[in-house]
């Protein structure tokens, strides 16, 4: 369902619609059969439900969005607790290392390097 979600999200964005339109006016479903995911309900004001070909045209970008969402989740875990991050920042400020030589910056860079987005 994730890839359909991102296809629909990109379709909405391409047509100047917001994420709130998705939450309020669209329902995706999978009946656990061989038909896969589909749009069960669509009531977006001023925008027709996308055809399969319109959604398929967004497939590669949707896959990229899906992969990047996974990277963001991995990074979020790897960054650790915000309190610990603030403690590192404080220590860097006190040590006059509020630049790329500080421990916080080095940790964030290591996480980003290990978990690159597409």
Does the pTM surpass 0.85? The reply is: no
CA distance 85 to 116: 20
User: pLDDT class for 1, splitting at 50, 70, 90?
Assistant: low
Mind listing the pLDDT tens digit for each residue in 54-80?
A: 999 999 999 999 999 999 999 999 999
The three-class DSSP label of residue 93 is: helix
For the chain, what is the largest distance between any 2 Cα atoms, rounded to a whole number of angstroms? 60
Residue 32 is given by DSSP the state S
Spell out the domain ranges in the chain. 1-71, 80-118
Query: CB–CB of 42/49 below 8 Å?
Result: yes
Distances (CA, A) of 72 to 4, 10, 28, 68: 19, 18, 23, 6
Tell me the two tokens of residue 83. 């309190």
User: Which of these, 10, 13, 22, 12, lies nearest to 64 by C-alpha position?
Assistant: 10
| Percentage, residues of the chain above pLDDT 70 | 99
Kindly provide the residue ranges of all beta strands, DSSP E only, lying in the chain, ordered along the sequence. 26-30, 37-42
């Amino acid at each position: 369902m994730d890839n359909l979600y991102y296809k629909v999200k990109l379709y909405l964005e391409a047509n100047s619609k917001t994420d709130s339109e998705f939450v309020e006016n669209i329902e995706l479903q999978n009946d656990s059969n061989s038909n896969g995911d589909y749009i069960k309900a669509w009531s977006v004001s001023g925008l027709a439900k996308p055809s399969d070909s319109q959604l398929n045209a967004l497939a590669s970008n949707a896959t990229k969005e899906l992969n990047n969402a996974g990277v963001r989740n991995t990074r979020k875990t790897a960054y650790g607790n915000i309190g610990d991050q603030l403690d590192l920042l404080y220590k860097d400020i006190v040590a006059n290392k509020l630049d790329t030589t500080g421990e916080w910056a080095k940790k964030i860079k290591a996480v980003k390097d290990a978990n690159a987005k597409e």
